[in-house]
Amino acid sequence: MIELICRRAFFQFEFPIHYRARTPVIDGDVSKWGPHFLVPALVEMEDQSPLADVYCAWNADHFMVAFDVPERWGPLRCDQTQWWKLDGVRICIDTRDTRDAKRATRFCHFFYVLPIGGGPRRNQPVIGLHRMSRAKEPPPAVDLAQIQLAARTARRGWSVEVAIPASSLSGWNPSEHPRIGFFYKVKDTQLGSQHLTVDDELGWNADPSTWATGVLVK
């Protein structure tokens, strides 16, 4: 039975998130993201190949994330009303990286992103903020219109870019708090799911102690 347990659950992970002086144009094109910004593919610890490349960067004004899913074939499936069921990504950020906290605080943010499903023709990307289960206190309200968001879809592959402004991240202060909690999940209805650390069974959506630590470095 031990082989059925997520191996990453036995470790705490820490990786650098590199500084990017200027926030790039957010247009869904991930070719501007080099390997310097690549998040470690920890899923390889489970003897699995990553289905997505994930990139992160930061500056005083924004936290930036990009996702590239190159091997998906055919149209995507997204539903704003049931965003958790179909194609999309989740981005979790704890601006205080409270490693011993089992419940979310006001510094913990859970964003979901859909590559399509928004706009009159349902072909625009969507971002939303989800209240974490069992949270002690939710983060302050966020003006989602201030978040820069773009996606690209093709017959083969899809990608998403997000730049979250400091004003949308309660407690964002890289100089005073350069260590943040970070987690992502990529869900693709054709290829499966990819989690940064633990999988769904171990409660990442309620327990920020299961996330990794990102160190904001220049």
Angle, vertex CA 100, rays to CA 162 and CA 207, nearest 5: 50
Q: For the stretch 50-66, what's the b/e string if a residue is b when 16 or more beta carbons lie within 10 angstroms of its beta carbon?
A: ebbbbbbbbbeebbbbb
pLDDT at 137: 87
Cβ atoms 114, 80 nearer than 8 A: yes
1 domain-assigned: no
Q: Would the CA dihedral through 162, 7, 84, 210 be positive or negative? A: negative
pLDDT at 101: 80
Average pLDDT, integer, range 126-138: 90
Domain count, the chain: 1
pTM for this structure?
Answer: 0.94
92 forms bridges with which residues in the sheet?
110, 183
Banded model confidence at residue 102, pLDDT cuts 50, 70, 90 = confident
Convert the pLDDT of each residue in 33-42 to its tens digit.
Answer: 999 999 999 9
pLDDT at 136: 86
Checking if the pLDDT of 216 tops 80, the result is yes
Convert the pLDDT of each residue in 144-191 to its tens digit.
Answer: 999 999 999 999 999 999 999 999 999 999 999 999 999 999 999 999
Convert the pLDDT of each residue in 187-197 to its tens digit.
Answer: 999 999 999 99
Q: Which long-range contacts (CB under 8 A, 24 or more apart) does 33-42 make?
A: 33/57, 33/66, 33/68, 37/66, 39/15, 39/184, 39/196, 40/13, 40/15, 42/8, 42/13, 42/196, 42/197, 42/212
Cβ atoms 162, 169 nearer than 8 A: no
Checking if the pLDDT of 100 tops 60, the result is yes
Banded model confidence at residue 133, pLDDT cuts 50, 70, 90 = confident
**By residue range, what is the domain housing residue 36?**
20-217
pLDDT at 3: 62
Residues of the chain with pLDDT > 90, as a percent, come to 84
14 domain-assigned: no
Q: Which CATH number does the domain housing residue 199 bear?
A: 2.60.40.1190
Average pLDDT, integer, range 82-100: 95
